[in-house]
Structures are given as C-alpha cells and as structure tokens.
Amino acid sequence: MASGVRPGDAPDGNPLRAESPKQVLSWDERPPEILATPDAGESANRSKIVVAVDDDPDNVEIIGKIARFAGYTFIGISNGAECVSLAMRMAPRLILLDVQMPGIDGYETCRLLRNNPNLAHIPIAFLTARKTGEDVTRSMRVGGNDFVIKPFDAAKLCERINFWVNRRISLRSKRR
C-alpha cells in the first residue's frame, strides 16, 4: 500500500474516489482540481493539526481522509471534554465540531474553548446536520467561526479547512 493511502481510499490516495460504507459526502468520479493532487506545501502542512469532534466514527473517518489528503495531521475524537483537553495540550490549527454529542454538546465545548485565553484564537467550524437559522445564530453566538451542514461536499469542506488554517496563520503573523 502506498504511503499515506488508507484502507478504503482510491489507489492514488484521493478520498473523493474512495468508496465509503456510509455515503456522507458527495463523491465525484473526477475530483475537483484542488483535491486532484496533494498541496505543494503538504510536508509543511503535516505540522498543522486539524481536529474533528464527532460521536459518529464514520464521519470522523471521512473528515480525516479529507484533512490528511490536504496534507494536514488529523486527530479525530468523539466528545467535547476530550476536545478541550486535547486543545490545551496540542493547540490545533482548526477544530471541526459537531453540535449533537453525548455529554458536553458542541455549543458548550465551543464556549469552554473560547473562555480559555490560550485557546480562544483557534478557529472553530461547526459541522452539523442541524440547519435552521437559529442553529447558525447560536453557533456564532457561542464563538463559532463557520457553519458547515452535513451531508457536506468533500471539496467544499477541504476549502473551508484550508481557509481557516491559513486564516489563523495570517492572524498570528499580524500580531508579531
């Protein structure tokens, strides 16, 4: 098996051509150009950690394929408490956060992250099946930066991941 290719991926490692036991994303025969080949800065991206918090392991697996293909180090976890603990230890570049989870839900997890001055700068994108205007408003009110509705398009999610990872870098550069 080629380096970086995971079980279920297409032979070239492209998660858009992979077969999934749970069709969460829209899989195209030909991937969009932004995902056709790994980013030229892939090795530099490996030090950039993207975290997904979702209690559905299938969603975590699919999000992980997209993040890894884009060249990021990916960590998938299943609950809010673990997310806060991990963020304090590793300071990820982006947190993708489900709303509906057992224990601490996504809204409370976001609040906890935003109330910690060492973590408040980390972009948080809610990734959820909830899609009412009230859900979007509540997500932004607790400190979310973005709102992506499931099922999501893999290419669009990859664009959002790249945007927020690079946005954080831009914000930190301006503070110096």
Report pLDDT for 46: 54
Confidence grade of residue 55 (pLDDT, cut at 50, 70, 90)? very high
Residue 22, domain member (yes or no): no
Choice between 30 and 165, residue whose per-residue pLDDT is larger? 165
Say whether 66 sits in a helix, a strand or coil: helix
E strand or H helix that includes residue 36:
helix 33-36
Domain count, the chain: 1
Name the CA dihedral angle for 8, 11, 15, 20, rounded to a multiple of 10 degrees.
-30
Q: Is the pLDDT of residue 105 over 90?
A: yes
| Number of CB atoms found within 10 A of residue 141's CB | 11
**Residue 105 located in a structural domain:** yes
**Does the pTM of the predicted model rise above 0.85?**
no
Neighbouring CB atoms inside 10 A of 104's CB total 18
Is a pLDDT exceeding 70 seen at residue 35?
Answer: no
Is residue 8 in some structural domain?
no
pLDDT at 175: 43
Q: What is the DSSP letter of 149?
A: E
Residue 52 pLDDT: 97
First to last CA, the chain: 43
Please indicate, yes or no, if residue 18 is contained in any of the structural domains.
Answer: no
- Look up the CATH number of the domain holding residue 163: 3.40.50.2300
Q: Please write the tens of the pLDDT for every residue from 88-100.
A: 999 899 999 999 9
Note whether residue 163 is domain-resident. Answer: yes
pLDDT over 60 at 166, yes or no: yes
Answer yes or no: are the C-beta atoms of 36 and 42 closer than 8 Å.
no
